[in-house]
Amino acid sequence: MEEIDIKTTREVGSFSYKALLMARDMVKPGAKLLDVAQKVESFVKDNGFGCAFPINLSVNEEAAHYTPTLSDEKVFGENDIVKVDFGVAKDGILGDCAVTVDLSEENAKLVDASKKALENAIATIRHGVAVKEIGKVIEDTIESMGFSPIRNLGGHLVKVHELHSDIFVPNYYNGDDTVLEEGMTVAIEPFATSGNRDLIVESDVCEIYGFAGEGLVRSPDSRKVLKEISEKYGSEPFAVRWLSNVISDKFKLYLAIRDLLRSGSIQQYPMLVGSGMITQAEAEVLVTKDGCEVLTK
């Protein structure tokens, strides 16, 4: 297992949570999603951090991976359930945390289902615990409150420059005997839904991508964008709007993105949607011998 810089890991976790709370407090009816994203991401950079990934502002049946477009005019509605998912980065160490904002104030039980599941999961974590046991706690908690856990989303091991690493922490009892070990950094993220199915699917909306390699690209615009991506973002996900400094023309920028996707130079992370209202709670923890340390606090 890789050695971690515990001081930086704690610093990243703490500031990730600070940025998350800033975003949470900006989510109000009538507020523009793009304004929230730009202000929070700028705040992070102004304080000497990078973004581990573009801020996710996913609404209602959207589970994850919605980040505003280059000229997004969307505003939060007074009845929206908003998942705010974000984390900061420093020296390759990545933060990841999330909270749900219920603007209608009528879905407290659904919000509490994912929140309580996270609390109970954290109480279960220790060196040697199997991920299936964490999943069972999450599943039992959410179902006891009358909702369903999203079964094809879950937590994950976090490594340097690798947000979603090779351990998946399920939101239900999946029989996986993989165990967590002391010193691991893990994100735990229960999703609860009021929908009639407990799976999410990819939509045709995508604003988040990741560098995949140097594919064959002939267009000068595409080559300029690819150079920016490979040099500035590496393995970390990026938003299309972050590339407007390279190509300011929206049509040409999205044309370059399509070109890079066809060439295999980038991979996409589409918006994920379910069949009903969805809530999320997430924290990043450091596994210890007898429990865990919550980093995003």
The residues, ordered by sequence, that sit 6+ positions from 229 with a Cβ below 8 Å of its Cβ are 209, 211, 238, 243, 260, 265, 266
- From the candidates 164, 176, 228, 293, which is the catalytic residue? 164
- From the candidates 80, 189, 207, 259, which is the catalytic residue? 189
Q: Is 72 a catalytic residue?
A: no
Can you name the residues that pair with 193 across neighbouring β-strands? 148, 278
Q: Is 231 a catalytic residue?
A: no
Return the closest-CA partner of residue 130 out of 173, 185, 176, 167.
176
Q: Is 139 a catalytic residue?
A: no
Q: Is 85 a catalytic residue?
A: yes
- From the candidates 41, 96, 112, 139, which is the catalytic residue? 96
**Three-state secondary structure call for residue 294:** strand
Whether the Cβ atoms of residue 65 and residue 239 lie closer than 8 Å to each other = no
Burial (CB < 10 A; 0-12, 13-18, 19+), residue 267, is middle
Q: Strand order in 62-64's β-sheet?
A: 62-64, 272-273, 201-202
Q: Is 259 a catalytic residue?
A: no
Q: Is 156 a catalytic residue?
A: yes
**Tokens 């450091």 correspond to what residue?**
286
- From the candidates 41, 156, 236, 259, which is the catalytic residue? 156
Instruction: List the catalytic residues.
Output: 85, 96, 156, 164, 189, 282
